[in-house]
Chain A
């Protein structure tokens, strides 16, 4: 009978735990850094479980054991051993082990072309600035591309409130704190797309502040970097030309930059290659021309309080021209 009663609880636990794997999970590590975090967590979980078991046994003995045993458990020696010596000999090595694991990252300057990337948390999106060995830099947003197997050194800071940069598959979380720059070395073993998210409550749209880390094989990464660094491609069709004109005439350039055009605003994400990104609006929408149009018009309904202006006055034809143009910027 008792088993029948606990059975549903066990099944429910198993179902819930099965959701822990896969996308955006600490339990599926794809880098050395994430693996050490994973190992350390497992050591803690198993160790904690064993200690709990010992404590339960001792508590049982203290309650139901013989008089002799109970006297010994209540003695001074038990307090000294169980309360002082035991924590000291378990926690101290654990702390040192943790330091050793997390501190020993791979050397970030191994590559021939050291890449410096700055990620700035803003309410509620991510400004990403790549700087190459020559010191030239360019901007992107809401997506970070890194070469497989080559560590990239991230400088993490914020433009407003505290955010936290977290890609569970690749690394532990690091806070972005006003007036301070934290660093994180990020790497990935295999090509793939890893989801990340702001892990520190940062205001209204915090839950909708995600990003993607795309790990590319070295060659593909180099090609992508060349493209990303270049100016926006010229509009090629009549609709795209109209889209660019409307983009400029309706003031979009007041907040957004498209390198190679008159749009030079810096308040919002750089859109020079927006069409090539995996998602829109910081991981909120799939990146299609339709969702760009929807976003321009209804962004306050899709992501309440976000700082993009609502443009409900644009005609459907104008919206589709602008979104076709933006979508073509790969």
Chain B
């Protein structure tokens, strides 16, 4: 027993504390019930409230991201370009971009979404990663649409690192990629009623008739089969294929547009975009062996049995896809991220049998190819024939 504190006095103190707590809770409920607190975004915060909220926010981000290990991002062009493409559609409407003002609607949120360039430097990579991946309560900042695609979040972080130094022109080149030439003024948008799909949203990152993908983390769609492309968009739209970048885009497409986009890319000639002859990197020969024969002892079938020219159209053709993209996708299959559709389950079962080395080998092989059979050349010949005739006349 502490001297001076008899049991009755302790009891009295306890009652006083409990009574006060009840009074405070009642007062808070009464205040909320009365509606006297003004929740209007237009009224802003008191300077003191703002300082307190920011203090809490900064510390929360630091503590919550303490265990994250950041990969080396230094000027990773593939990541920067992919991140830029997503930033333009997913972030710029609220945060603005070099040469592009913030939308006035977003400007009137509370807190108003900050222009990021001046703030980026005050955060480490892992802090930015945490914010982009998880979003922030009470601010309107959403979490990443696919919580198991950290690779995509890092791409945005890589871009954010570059953001403060970008001129409007540099930003446009990065963010609009292959679509930069096709930007049209608002008046053109108003008068457009054309029935051909505007593929600017795709071409930002993927490719066009005359250009390849902007990043090695982005697949080449030209000449891929129509059923495969359409199915990929449907899988993104119903969240059975995971991507914080593709899901929001695919979710906006109706079935007619899905088919039109798939038809557009299926109609392009494969591997005709100008690009340097891919160098034979890594263990290209070992990759070719796996692609052609598989590894029977490890129950890995040959890649070409489903991804060759004669395979069913539901499977993608891999020749000429960027090595980095292929290796990334194989790892997503292997870790079970890409295993939610019947077809992905088939591939995931194979990828689980592959070592890191085998993944790099087959990716190097397919990445080094432009085309691997007579068939696409024949098709190319058929497509180019009329032009030649025209030249002869």
Q: Would A254 and B306 count as touching, CB distance under 8 A?
A: yes
Kindly state whether residue A246 has any CB partner on chain B within 8 Å.
yes
**Chain A residues, CB < 8 A from B315:** 250-251
A26–B350 Cα distance when bound, in Å, is 40
Residue among B305, B306, B311, B315 with the most chain A CB within 10 A? B305
Interface string of B287-323 (1 = CB under 8 A from A): 0000000111101111001100011101100000000
A255–B302 Cα distance when bound, in Å, is 8
Q: Would B299 and A251 count as touching, CB distance under 8 A?
A: no
Q: Would A254 and B294 count as touching, CB distance under 8 A?
A: yes
Q: Would B299 and A268 count as touching, CB distance under 8 A?
A: yes
Residue among A159, A254, A310, A313 with the most chain B CB within 10 A? A254
Kindly state whether residue B349 has any CB partner on chain A within 8 Å.
yes
Q: Would B305 and A309 count as touching, CB distance under 8 A?
A: no
A251–B308 Cα distance when bound, in Å, is 9
**Chain B residues, CB < 8 A from A314:** 342
Kindly state whether residue B345 has any CB partner on chain A within 8 Å.
yes
Known: A250-B306, A254-B306. A310 touches B300 (CB 8 A): no
**Chain B residues, CB < 8 A from A307:** 299
From B299, B314, B341, B342, contact of A255 by CB (8 A): B299
Name A278-315 residues within 8 Å CB distance of B.
Answer: 307, 309-314
From B295, B300, B312, B350, contact of A250 by CB (8 A): B312
From B311, B314, B349, contact of A313 by CB (8 A): B314
A309–B306 Cα distance when bound, in Å, is 13
A310–B350 Cα distance when bound, in Å, is 10
Q: Would B343 and A313 count as touching, CB distance under 8 A?
A: yes
Q: Would A310 and B294 count as touching, CB distance under 8 A?
A: no
Q: Would A267 and B296 count as touching, CB distance under 8 A?
A: yes
A314–B315 Cα distance when bound, in Å, is 12
CB distance from A61 to the nearest CB of B (A): 64
Residue among A250, A267, A268, A311 with the most chain B CB within 10 A? A267
From B305, B310, B349, B350, contact of A265 by CB (8 A): B305
Kindly state whether residue A248 has any CB partner on chain B within 8 Å.
yes
**Chain B residues, CB < 8 A from A255:** 294, 299, 301
User: How many A residues have CB within 8 A of the partner chain?
Assistant: 21
Kindly state whether residue B335 has any CB partner on chain A within 8 Å.
no
Q: Would B342 and A313 count as touching, CB distance under 8 A?
A: yes
- Minimal Cβ-Cβ distance residue in A for B313: A249
**Chain B residues, CB < 8 A from A159:** 297
A249–B350 Cα distance when bound, in Å, is 17
Kindly state whether residue A275 has any CB partner on chain B within 8 Å.
no
- Minimal Cβ-Cβ distance residue in A for B310: A249
Kindly state whether residue A253 has any CB partner on chain B within 8 Å.
yes
Known: A249-B310, A251-B311. A265 touches B346 (CB 8 A): no
Kindly state whether residue A41 has any CB partner on chain B within 8 Å.
no
From B294, B302, B312, B345, contact of A312 by CB (8 A): B345
- Minimal Cβ-Cβ distance residue in B for A318: B312
Known: A310-B345, A310-B349. A249 touches B312 (CB 8 A): yes
A249–B343 Cα distance when bound, in Å, is 14
Main secondary structure of the interface of A (DSSP, over half): loop
Known: A249-B311, A265-B294, A313-B314. A254 touches B342 (CB 8 A): no
From A248, A253, A266, A313, contact of B346 by CB (8 A): A313
**Chain B residues, CB < 8 A from A251:** 301, 305-306, 311, 315
A313–B227 Cα distance when bound, in Å, is 13
Known: A255-B294, A313-B341. A246 touches B312 (CB 8 A): yes
Q: Would A311 and B305 count as touching, CB distance under 8 A?
A: no
CB distance from A158 to the nearest CB of B (A): 12
A321–B314 Cα distance when bound, in Å, is 17
A53–B306 Cα distance when bound, in Å, is 69
A253–B301 Cα distance when bound, in Å, is 8
A82–B342 Cα distance when bound, in Å, is 69
From A248, A266, A312, contact of B342 by CB (8 A): A312
- Minimal Cβ-Cβ distance residue in A for B297: A159
CB distance from A121 to the nearest CB of B (A): 14
- Minimal Cβ-Cβ distance residue in A for B308: A251
Q: Would B311 and A265 count as touching, CB distance under 8 A?
A: no
**Chain B residues, CB < 8 A from A250:** 306, 311-312, 315
Q: Would A265 and B312 count as touching, CB distance under 8 A?
A: no
**Chain A residues, CB < 8 A from B349:** 309-310
**Chain B residues, CB < 8 A from A268:** 299
A38–B342 Cα distance when bound, in Å, is 50
From A248, A265, A310, A312, contact of B301 by CB (8 A): A265
- Minimal Cβ-Cβ distance residue in B for A312: B342
A311–B299 Cα distance when bound, in Å, is 16
**Chain A residues, CB < 8 A from B343:** 312-313
**Chain A residues, CB < 8 A from B314:** 313
**Chain A residues, CB < 8 A from B295:** 267
**Chain A residues, CB < 8 A from B306:** 250-251, 254
CB distance from A252 to the nearest CB of B (A): 8
Q: Would B350 and A309 count as touching, CB distance under 8 A?
A: yes
- Minimal Cβ-Cβ distance residue in A for B350: A309
A246–B306 Cα distance when bound, in Å, is 11
CB distance from B200 to the nearest CB of A (A): 32
A249–B306 Cα distance when bound, in Å, is 7
**Chain A residues, CB < 8 A from B350:** 309
Q: Would B341 and A267 count as touching, CB distance under 8 A?
A: no
Chain A to chain B: the 4 pairs with minimum beta-carbon distance, closest first: A254-B301, A312-B342, A254-B305, A251-B306
Given contacts A267-B301, A312-B342, A313-B342, 10 further A-B contacts (CB under 8 A): A246-B312, A250-B315, A255-B299, A265-B302, A265-B305, A267-B297, A309-B301, A310-B342, A313-B341, A314-B342
A to B CB contacts below 8 Å, 27 in the list? A159-B297, A248-B310, A249-B312, A250-B312, A251-B301, A251-B306, A254-B302, A254-B306, A255-B294, A255-B299, A265-B301, A265-B302, A265-B305, A267-B294, A267-B296, A267-B297, A267-B299, A267-B300, A268-B299, A309-B301, A309-B349, A309-B350, A310-B346, A312-B342, A312-B345, A312-B346, A314-B342
